[in-house]
Amino acid sequence: MLELRKDIFADERDDNLNEVGKPTQRQDMLGHVTATSPYFNDHKLQGMLHLKVLRSTHHHARLRRIDVSEAERQPGVRRIIRGSDVPRNINTLLSLINFGKDDEPSLAVDKVRYKGEPIVAVVADSEREAFEALAKIKVEYEPLPTVFDVEDAMKAGAPIVNETYPKNTFTYHDIYDHQKLRFGDVERAFDQADHVLDERYQMSPIEHAPTETNGSIAAPETNGRYVVYTSTQALFFSLDTSAKILDIPSNKLHFIGGTVGGGFGGKVDTLTEPLAILGSMLTGRPVRYMLGREEEMQYGSPRGGERIYIKDAMSRDGRIIARKMRCIFDSGAYTRLSSYAVVKCAAHLPGPYTIPNVHADVYCVYTNRVPATAMRGFGVTAVDFAIECQMDKLAHLINMDPMEFRILNAYRDGDMKAHRREAKNTALIECVQVAAEKAKWNLSESAKRASSRKEGSSARASMPDSSRAAAPVAASYERPATAPASSFSPPVVQSTVNAPPSAAPPISSPSPTSHGATRFSSVFGRRR
């Protein structure tokens, strides 16, 4: 049974919504079950041509020669498109919001940086003829050293994957190679800790695997406009991206979306629209470009693989007194949306717990792998998995119930978060209590009595000055009455740290309000 605890969330919104807890039919369900939902690929336009791309067979190679002469003479071939035909053959998706440098060509020119990177496009009367022409294109590669591991990529002397970022790391605010979070003094806390747990977590890329693969159909309209039927899940984002790559005003493009046959973040990359429109511009005909299943699985961008190191300091009674994290996100060969995943991750650390000393570095790293992109909570989901695995291990270490362990460490209203913002409307404790109740999991009386509205603020709301001096090593708690028996002595509350951390970094952007990611994230000050 679904229930909304209005006693907890009463102030969250003034709602008279009448939907929660009741089955509601999806608005598109009738169309799906009667096979009448409109998809972009339902448009069979007169004289429609088909576009296919030749993809790199190497993970990293210089392109010495591309010979399309035989392919051009193939029957049915209308046009071969090379990188030099693309008006602005370099782009990065978030450039629309001034975030990051252009780093990815629509069609590779000098070199390929991942296996499957598009090199040449063929526009032909039929898919078959396009495939046959592709087979006639000769590409001479000069293989280059490859790097597939994020930490290898960060080492000095590693192969440079993407010359836009010669250190193989994304550049934040024009100078920083990672996102940084500093709060209190973790090293001091590690010295005082009863337990230290240092673990490594490695995630795998995950493919969105939509039922409908990425694709679009572009066709000339009147007045030099082009209509584009597309599977995109971000219609105007794709429109503006296409307008930029094709160097035309966005009012020359008329994008029509339909049902997105599975998106999950995998249809924001605008993988097909620019080339479909360019094909249409160059031939004057409607052009369809749809990824095959194998292209979608192998080369459509996945969720990135993240490597996460967590080192925690814990006192004997189960309070986490420091958390040090190093997260390295594998962006693949190009940025796409991984730079933003890093910002989200940094905004999320150290999880929903009040930890008085936090230290985190989060990197967006380039490797010769398929570029990663958005997928359902990217930047947060994986790190949460790591954090919660770590929480279980910590609880196990001191033989404490994992649910109670979370209640003990959960943030409470009024606590100071590592981002120097006061925690508001917290409800982790209540969520854990309800979960325990539903699962018939026995909690101690003190855990049952715990509340997000009690025990917060006061010392726990203090703001350590990590760049200079005083920082609490342990937040003050009322110790639960039934905390595990131990030879625990009350922690040193408000102990001070005098040694300044080495290399005190700027915490915020030099000009945060002008930063592109403000539209996305609460980390820059807007709460959604």
Partner 1 sequence: MPLSVKTFDTVHEAAAALSAERGSHFCGGGTLVMRAVNEGDTTLSTLVRVKDRSLSQVRASGARFSIGSGVTLAHLLNEKDLSFLHPVVRSIGGPAVRNMGTVGGNLFARAPFGDLTVALLALDAVVSVHGSYGLREMPMEEFLSGRDANRGALVLGVSFERPSSPDAFRYRKVSRVKPKGASVFSIAVNLPNMGGRISGARIAYGAMAPTAIRAKAAERALEGKTLDQTTAAAIAAVAAEGTSPATDSLASAWYRRETIGVHLRRLLLGQAE
Residues that bind partner 1 (CB under 8 A): 52, 126-129, 131-132, 134-135, 292-294
Which residues are CB-neighbours of 223 under 8 A, at least 6 positions away? Answer: none
53/160 with CB nearer partner 1: 53
Work out how close the CB of 128 gets to partner 1 at its nearest, in angstroms, rounded to a whole number.
6
CA 318 – CA 399 distance, rounded (Å): 9
CB of 277 to partner 1, least distance (A): 23
How far is Cα 426 from Cα 454, in angstroms, rounded to an integer? 11
Burial class (CB in 10 A: 0-12, 13-18, 19+), 101: middle
User: Taking the complex as a whole, how short is the minimal distance between the CB of residue 82 and partner 1, in angstroms?
Assistant: 20
Which residue number, 129 or 312, has a Cβ lying nearer to partner 1? 129
Residue placing its CB nearer to partner 1 in the complex, 52 or 113: 52
Residue 131 Cβ vs partner 1, minimum distance, rounded to whole Å: 4
Query: Which CB, 204 or 496, lies closer to partner 1?
Result: 204
Count Cβ atoms within 10 A of the Cβ of residue 282 and give its class: 0-12 exposed, 13-18 middle, 19 or more buried: middle
- Rounded Cα distance, 89 and 85, in Å: 8
> Among residues 357, 355, 358, which one has the least CA distance to residue 412?
355
Phi, psi of 218 (to 5 degrees): -115, 145
- Provide the 8-state DSSP code for 213: P
Is the Cβ of residue 292 or residue 402 nearer to partner 1 in the bound state?
A: 292
Q: What is the dihedral of CA 402, 408, 414, 418, to 10 degrees?
A: -60
Closest contact distance (angstroms) between CB of 290 and partner 1 is: 10
From CA 445, how far away is CA 426, in angstroms rounded?
Answer: 21
Which amino acid belongs to residue 268? V
CB of 307 to partner 1, least distance (A): 21
Contact between 392 and 195 under an 8 Å Cβ cutoff? The reply is no
Closest distance between partner 1 and the C-beta of residue 1, in Å? 29
In terms of CB distance, is 50 or 324 closer to partner 1?
50
Nearer to partner 1, 269 or 296 (CB): 296
